[in-house]
Amino acid sequence: MAIKIILLVVFFAVMLVVGILCRKSANSVNGFVLGGRKVGPWLTAFAYGTSYFSAVIFIGYAGQFGWKFGVSATWIGIGNAIIGSLLAWFLLGRRTRLMTRHLGASTMPEFFEKRFDSKMLKIVASLIVFIFLIPYTASLYNGLSRLFEIAFDLPYWVWIAIMAVLTCVYVIAGGYMATAVNDFIQGLIMLVGIVVVIVAVIMSNGGFAEAFGSLAGVSDPTSGPLASVDGIFASIFGPDPLGLLFVVILTSLGTWGLPQMVQKFYSIKSEGDIRKGMIISTVFAIVVAGGCYFLGGFGRLYPEAVAGGFDNIIPTMLASLNNDFILALVLVLVLSASMSTLSSLVLTSSSTLVLDLVKGNIVKNMDNKKQLLWVRIFILVFVAISVVIALVQYYAPSGNEGTAFIAQLMGISWGALAGAFLAPFLLGLCWKKVTKPAVLVNFIFAVVVMTVNMFVGKQLAPINPFFKFVTSPVNLGAIVMMFGFVIVIVISLLTKKPDQSVIDNAFACYSKKVTVAAGSVLSEEEKTEENEDVAEKKE
């Protein structure tokens, strides 16, 4: 108990100190939301990675998909590293940084407004972010409950309150820079923690060869035809290759359309930072995501754990180690994973709501100080709402309709957000023919399909295997994301061409000459952000 308490106290103290030390960088909206667009590669890469992988991955997804796919679940982590990190940085990093800076966009909804000259798109996008990021935020608390029940004899709500208050303090004090610095520290903890846990679990099962041998002897006739084959859970593609592919698509490609992920590219400083950040982020993803899913693949060696649900598998593994230091390290790891993602989500949600919905629509005149005040207020509001949702879900009786609704809403959040934004954002950066109607139709399509599935999916699933496959939130989310490209391209070709002046203005950023065309290399010396900060402070 002493080890656990000491580690947690040190962890909390560091987070608070970082928030206080970074407060000077949060005196302007540009500084508070984007760190002045001058964040280096290590901080940006770790902020990207820690926002990507939360306690939901370590506790929930690792247990669930590890049980379903065996060690082939490791492909999910590899996909997250190659598609969700390496290709995301390579294809989106430079273009996102250039166009958002050129258009003066601080959030994804603001990008849609200025890229397509449509205030309506900004309002609709900000509402989608508001509606679907809150339940996603609430889901972060779920991974904490079982671990803290194992480690401490304290109510679940106490730990939620501690985590929420601490996150609010350092985000409100230091803004994006405090979040980025703390993400770096939390990311280091995650890297060390994952490696230690994997080694400990493998050794507790007799070593690598014996653990694999034990897993190869597991079969499960109740989980489908392939699952009954001996050794299938230790095979390279597992018992359900198609299902595995859809999980890889959703969790890897989906990040390209998530506001809290894409916004990390807004703050990149230079071309060299993109190259460095791409490598750092990819390595981080391989270790953390690959490690999590690889660890979850051995969940079948703990068959008693699944009786308490998939979220019980990883905690059962850890409890079986009987090692207080490792458990204490994992507690800090899970707190790190949860708080890093939570801080990113609440900062994205609050800044989006204030800058894209409240400013100019509800409150007409908002100077720099008022914007900062409103953003900080909504950080408190978002955290409070997510805490309430998490507590209701945790303490409500099983079978409660409200609880079921909340759980389903959490399940569709990722699919709705990525489905709505991925195609319009990516094509908007690269293709001049994208039209406002195409973007709006895709917004509506993704939200409606995922929401309708939340209400009728369970009724359709038993009809036949096809409906069961399609109504899975993971599979449907991946389908909606990919179909979004068809919608945007087809409707753009069928509707009136966008105003040429709007296109010329948006794509002018790629023609600007630095050493070569700015579409190929970012300038190392950019003074615009400094001018923005000065103007905001004068205002």
Q: CATH number of the domain that 104 lies in?
A: 1.20.1730.10
Mean pLDDT of 57-75: 88
419/163: higher pLDDT: 419
Contact partners, residue 313, CB within 8 Å, separation at least 6: 62, 63, 64, 66, 67, 296, 299, 302, 305, 306
pLDDT, position 440? 97
Q: What is the pLDDT of residue 220?
A: 79
Residue 534's pLDDT band, with cuts at 50, 70 and 90, is low
Residue at 530 is within a domain: no
Per the DSSP assignment, residues forming a β-bridge with 39 are: 268
Residue 485 makes CB contacts below 8 A (sequence gap 6+) with 423, 427
Instruction: Name beta bridge partners: 363.
Output: 359
Q: Which band of pLDDT confidence, cut at 50, 70 and 90, is reported for residue 402? A: very low
Calculated CA dihedral for residues 233, 234, 236, 242, nearest 10 degrees: 0
Over range 150-172, report the average pLDDT.
79
pLDDT at 125: 93
In a domain, 536, yes or no: no
DSSP for 23-51, please give it: GGGGSSHHHHHHGGG-B-HHHHHHHHHHH
Q: Is residue 107 part of a domain?
A: yes
User: What mean pLDDT do residues 197-205 have?
Assistant: 91
Instruction: Give me the residue label for tokens 């598998």.
Output: 313
Bridge partner residues of 513 (DSSP) = 517
The per-residue pLDDT for 340 is 79
User: What is the mean pLDDT of the segment spanning 345-357?
Assistant: 84
Measured CA to CA, the distance from residue 332 to residue 190 in angstroms comes to: 8
Higher pLDDT, 121 or 518: 121
Cα distance between residue 80 and residue 292, in whole Å: 12
Domain range holding 22?
A: 2-395+404-522
Q: Residue 167 — pLDDT band, cuts 50, 70, 90? A: confident
Structure confidence at residue 406 as a pLDDT band (50, 70, 90): very low
Percent of the chain with pLDDT over 90: 28
Does 129 map to a domain? Answer: yes
The reported pLDDT for the residue numbered 256 is 92
Q: Output the six-digit token pair for 283.
A: 């390595």
43-52, 177-186, 215-224, 348-357: least confidently modelled range:
215-224
For residue 449, the model assigns a pLDDT of 94
Average pLDDT on 68-74 reads 92
| Whether residue 396 has pLDDT greater than 70 | no
Mean pLDDT of 299-314: 81
Number of structural domains, the chain?
1
Query: How far is Cα 280 from Cα 19, in angstroms, rounded to an integer?
Result: 24
Give pLDDT, residue 526. Answer: 52
User: Cα–Cα distance between 81 and 284 in angstroms, integer?
Assistant: 8
**Using CA atoms, how far apart are residues 363 and 382, in angstroms rounded to an integer?**
19
Range with top average pLDDT, 74-78, 367-371, 453-457: 74-78
Maximum separation of any 2 CA atoms in the chain, in Å? 70
pLDDT of 435 higher than 90: yes
Alpha-carbon distances of 284 from 86, 151, 217, 230, 405, rounded to whole Å: 11, 27, 32, 33, 34
Decide if pLDDT at 399 tops 60: no
How wide is the angle at C-alpha 200 spanned by C-alphas 293 and 292, nearest 5°? 15
Residue 403: pLDDT band (50, 70, 90) is: very low
For residue 10, what are the contacts with CB-CB under 8 A and spacing of at least 6? none
Of 123-137, 283-297, 453-467, 501-515, the range with the highest mean pLDDT is 283-297
CB 282 within 8 A of CB 47: no
pLDDT of residue 313: 84
Measure the CA–CA gap between 20 and 11, rounded to whole angstroms: 15
Query: pLDDT (tens digit, 9 = 90+) per residue, 252-298?
Result: 998 899 888 888 888 787 778 888 999 999 999 999 999 999 999 99
Interacting residues of 158 by C-beta distance below 8 A, sequence separation 6+: none
Q: pLDDT tier at 507 (50, 70, 90 boundaries)? A: very high
Kindly report the pTM of this predicted structure. Answer: 0.84
Rg (CA), the chain: 23
C-alpha 487: how far from its chain's center?
A: 25
Please report the pLDDT score of residue 72 as a whole number.
Answer: 94
Per the prediction, the chain carries an average pLDDT of 83
At residue 411 the predicted structure's pLDDT band, cuts being 50, 70 and 90, is low
What average pLDDT does this structure show over 373-400?
Answer: 78
218 or 505, which is more confident?
Answer: 505
- Is 529 part of a structural domain of the chain? no
Residue 178 and residue 167: Cα distance in Å, rounded?
A: 10
pLDDT tens, residue by residue, 1-23: 777 788 888 888 888 888 888 88
Percent of the chain with pLDDT over 70: 89
Nearest Cα to 247, choosing from 502, 1, 478? 478
Q: Is the dihedral of CA 280, 285, 288, 294 positive or negative?
A: negative
Q: What pLDDT is recorded for position 272?
A: 80
Distance CA 473, CA 457 (A): 9
User: From the CB of residue 221, how many other CB atoms can be counted at a distance below 10 Å?
Assistant: 9
- Higher pLDDT: 138 or 246? It is 246
User: What number of CA atoms fall less than 13 Å from residue 247's CA on the CB side?
Assistant: 22
68 found inside a domain: yes
